[in-house]
Structure 1
Amino acid sequence: MKSKKSNTISLDQFKDKHYGETGTKNRDELDLGYENFKIGALIHEARLEKGLTQEELAQKAGTTKSYISKIENNIKEVRFSTLQKIVELGLGGRLELSIKL
């Protein structure tokens, strides 16, 4: 019986092939873009879990509905101080930060 060769590659292998290795300009831009997208997705998910509209979250966090929408839709990067307000005041959560070397 012949074994079939798998053409499956990991996400990191795909990114290495198409965007370069970590530390190159294209790869770093891709990874930064993904992190910004992920923040917006996490805020969106948490907001829905709390049963809040964008307007309600914005009022609690001291910002605008438009700004919340732009963050959730990866149109605008969020400032750290605003992210803290959104998480702590708006969502009643705690923002945790770590640095990996």
Structure 2
Amino acid sequence: MKTKSKNLMSLDQFIDQQYGEVGSAKRDEFELGYENFKIGSMLQEARIQKGMTQEQLAEKVGSTKSYISKIENNVKEARFSTLQKIVEIGLGGHLELSIKF
């Protein structure tokens, strides 16, 4: 019978260990980067589900393929108004914003 390794930890424990507790500067920077990555990934997934290329999406919203690629790959941050335009005009969706405490 195999025994559990004492080195195993949950993802939350790993993040706490690597980036500090919630509220620390290093952790805040990590979480902001993750949110930007998540936005790009969600846009890419939605675009693919709509059967669109980056070039088609860019043309629809008056942008460039390069700019869409940079957002999807977390190279460039987009303003909320730009994200709204991409989602609503380009993808025919609705962008929602929420604040959680």
TM norm structure 2: 0.91
Q: 2:70 matched to 1:70? A: yes
Post-superposition CA distance 1:19-53 (Å, at most 9, x none): 10111111111110000000000011111110111
Residue 62 of structure 1 deviates from its aligned partner by 2.0
**Residue pairs, 1:26-41, within 5 angstroms:** 26-41=26-41
Gapped regions of structure 2 (runs ≥ 5): none
- For 2:22, the equivalent position in structure 1 comes to 22
CA distance in 2 between counterparts of 1:96 and 1:8 reads 37
Q: What fraction of aligned residue pairs are identical, expressed as a percent?
A: 70
Could you tell which deviates more after superposition, 55-64 or 2-11?
2-11
Pairs within 5 Å for 1:1-101? 4-6=3-5, 7-101=7-101
Structure 1 residue 88, shift from structure 2 partner: 0.3
Alignment TM-score, normalising by the size of structure 1: 0.91
* Runs of 4+ that moved beyond 6 A: none
Q: Which runs of 5+ in 1 are unaligned?
A: none
